Each structure stands twice: as C-alpha cells, then as structure tokens.
Amino acid sequence: MGVATVSAGRIYVGQLAGKTGEEFQLSWETFPHVALSKTYNTDAQVADSAGTACAFLSGVKTKAGVVGLDNHVERGNCASTESAAVDSIVHLSQRAGKSTGIVTTARVTHATPAAAYARCPERDWESNSDIPEEEAALGCKDIALQLVENATEVQVVLGGGRREFMPNTTADPQNKKYFGKRTDKRNLIDEWVALRPENTTQYVYNKGQFDDIDTDKIDYLLGLFDHTHMDYESERDTSYDGDPSLEEMTEKAIEILKKNEKGYFLMVEGARIDHGHHNGQAYDALNELNQLHLAVAKAKEMTSEDDTLIIVTADHSHTFSFGGYPDRGNPILGLVNTGVGSDGLPYTTLAYANGPGANKVSHSFNATNQRPNNTGVDTENKDYEQDALVPLALETHAGEDVAIYATGPMAHLFHGVHEQNYIMHVMKYASCVGYNKEHCEIVDNGTNDATVHYPTFLTFIISISVLLIQRFSDL
C-alpha cells in the first residue's frame, strides 16, 4: 500500500460515500504523526513481504523470503538458521504478560503473519509437505506447526489457510473438493485447541460460528475461514456459512485481548490489497483498502489515544500509478475524461508499470501496433485489468518508500525518513517490553512508589497491510 494506493483509495472510498472523493479522509489520515519507511531487504532493492515483515515486527532487516531470522541466514537452508533467530514484538509482548493476536485476510501462515511468531528460512514452508526432505531432516519446522508448538500463547488467530493445518486425508469442512496439505497425519487445529483451557477456548471456521462467540467467556480463539486465502470482499459470502469481514475480525480480537490488564499487541493485515495489485486489478486493491479503512476506524472507536498506540503502515509498495489530468470527481477507476493519448485512444487514470494488464497490450501491439481501445469498456468492473507496460503473469512490488501513520503514546517518535526496522523499536519502547524500560517507571508525587506502565499496540501494516495495536495499561 504505497502512497499512490492511499491517494487513489481515498478517492475511491470518498466516491463510495457519494462525494467527489479528493476531499475525503481515510481513517488513518487523521493521525497526527506521519513518516516514511525505507523498505529494501538486505539482499534486494525491491522487497518481498517476508523480509519486510521481519523488519517491522522484529526490528532487524533481513533477506527476502525469510521470517524471524537475521541476515546471516541463507534462504531455504535449514543449517544456516543456527543462531540467526530474532524475537518479534509478539514474543516480547508475551514475555511481558501481554495478550497477543493476529488478524489477516491471507493464510495465517503467509509471510506477514508468519513473521510475527515463526522462524523459518523459507516463507513458502507453510505446511510440512512444503519442506524438502533433506531440510526437514535438519530440524526445520513448517510455519503452521510453529504456530501450534512455538507460539502457544498467541490468544487470537483469525484468517485463512485451513489446508496448512489439516491432514491431506481430511476434506475441507466448507468445500469437500479440497483437502488438507499435511502428510504427517497431524491435525494442528485439534492440537491448538487441546493446548488451551477447555472452557475458554474456541475454534470456528465460518461467520455464523464467529458471530456466536461470547467474548466475555472466550480467551483463546482460532478462526480459519478458508481453505487458502480469505475471499476478496467483492466475493465474500456474508451468510452463516461465509466469512467475517476484516472489520468484524478486528472488533472481536480487541474485545478478547483488552481483558488483559497488562495490555495487548494485535497485528491486523489487510492482505488482499497486495493480491489485488499483483493481479493487476485496481478495483480489488482499492476495495480491500476500504476494508482496512473500516477496520482502523473500528479500532479507533474501541480504544483511547491516551493508552493505545495505533500504527498504520505498509510492508512495501507496488508499481501502481495514478495520473493524467482527469477532472475533479472523475471516477477513479474510469477513463481520463479530459483527453486521449497521442495515438488517439483513451486511457485510464490508474495503471501499472508491469503485470497481466500488459499481456493484452502486447497482443494488440503485435497485431495492430496499437494499444487496446478502451472505448466502451467498463473499466470500473472488478475483473478489469488495468493497462500495464511490461507483460508479466503477476505485477511486482515497487521499491519506493511507504508511509507510516501513528497516533497515541510515543507516536511522535515517527518523523522524517526511517529504516523499516525502526518501527518495531518504537513499539517496543512505547509498550515497555524488552530492554530499555526505565522510562516506564513513573514516581507519584509525595511517594517513593513507582508505577510501571505497560502499553498495548494496535498495528495496521498495510499492503499487504497491517494494523499493529498496542494498548497500554497500568500495573
């Protein structure tokens, strides 16, 4: 979710509300502190989501494709992981007695959520069947197994990806044509539930079950709502057998986690903004941004800036552009209404530097030496692929800086241009976890007694997009 996505998304959401759009403010655009984040990986000028997530969650920049490990690791090499493990803000929060949660519209074992709890030299090792035998023999565990065995105190886990937790002999409960991926015969969903107190633990896999949860009674919640990634909002089934929205998952997570007097950390990822861009479909990217807008608004409504730091940022950008000279209020997904290209053909306000949209362009050039003629084409349709320059099966990430928006305690520490790993150090400092906690002790006037303040975090890292929420409570 680069700046172009935020700007175009602002107009899109504003136009959904019946406005011209340009004057609209997204829920995080009211935050008082803004900075920029440099997103490169240690071995990549344009980053991937694993290395960037490791940076903002663990405070250490690392290579593309690895999670929870520092730069000494070699991607896909289990032997290289020795002494390379790093602690994430989730690990530190748990050790401080805080509650922790993960919400995503991707698989909960996908790169960004995985970086919150797992340590793995290959982001794609989500299930045991993904790991080469020779690497598994060296002791590397798949990411789903680590969520169960290594992160037993993550209290709330909501997203997609049931297949990574189910045996390959077990049919998916919502769609019997799909089966699990695990070849070790383990059902990690059952194991996750069995590790927690029976009366306060619940597993759900559809919206109806999710809606019926009594958050006053449930302290541990695992929700896996799809075989793989959750559906785009434009395709989401809202019935009992369907999926909850990102906003609904955010609300439920906060209701459960806020019961801890020591505070909590919650990461909320609007993952499918990224997926919409990869498919070259601006409609889905911006529609998913709207869902993040609603989730952040819900988080703001449920928390106080006096004790809750909310950060909204992105792990990386995309090759998404927003240009031409359209009139004020022109449909953001539409054609530029003030002219045509020098070839006499209309063009859209939004486009990509590369991606699947270039395949139709290349075909047209080969046949007629002309761009596709979008006259009469419904460019606002959710399945429309914006024109692109370089033909690729999937559009790529982009390398420019992304924004950081923050409000609440210590939000002022975001200013200027930061290395991406700086984000985690602000969260750690603000929430009084890890080292350097002297500032957390406040002596009351007239006494010698120190009160230690332990905050909470709510982080939205967007762009995969994420909301990191940390609420600060007194002990």
φ, ψ at 442 (rounded to 5°): -120, 120
357 SS3 class: helix
User: What is the distance, to the nearest Å, from the Cα of residue 34 to the centroid of all Cα atoms in its chain?
Assistant: 19
How far apart (Å, rounded) are the C-alpha atoms in residues 277 and 387? 12
Catalytic residue (one of 27, 49, 431, 463)? 49
Residue 468's nearest CA partner among 340, 292, 310 is 310
Question: Are 315 and 39 contacting, i.e. CB atoms less than 8 angstroms apart?
Answer: yes
Q: What DSSP letter does each residue of 121-162 carry, written as one string?
A: S-TT--SGGGS-HHHHTTTPPPHHHHHHHT-TTEEEEEEE-G
How far apart (Å, rounded) are the C-alpha atoms in residues 60 and 54? 7
How far apart (Å, rounded) are the C-alpha atoms in residues 110 and 103? 12
- Cβ atoms < 10 Å from Cβ of 412: 12
Structure tokens at 287: 């529609």
Catalytic (active site) residue 304: no
Amino acid in position 156: V
Residue 333's nearest CA partner among 56, 110, 43, 16 is 16
Q: Is the dihedral of CA 100, 102, 108, 112 positive or negative?
A: negative
How far apart (Å, rounded) are the C-alpha atoms in residues 151 and 90? 9
Helix (H) or strand (E) holding 354: strand 350-355
Distances (CA, A) of 33 to 26, 45, 454: 14, 27, 22
Tell me the sheet residues that pair with 37.
402, 418
How far apart (Å, rounded) are the C-alpha atoms in residues 352 and 261? 47
For residue 472, give the DSSP letter: E
CA angle, corner 64, sides to 60 and 67, nearest 5?
55
Catalytically active residues, by annotation: 49
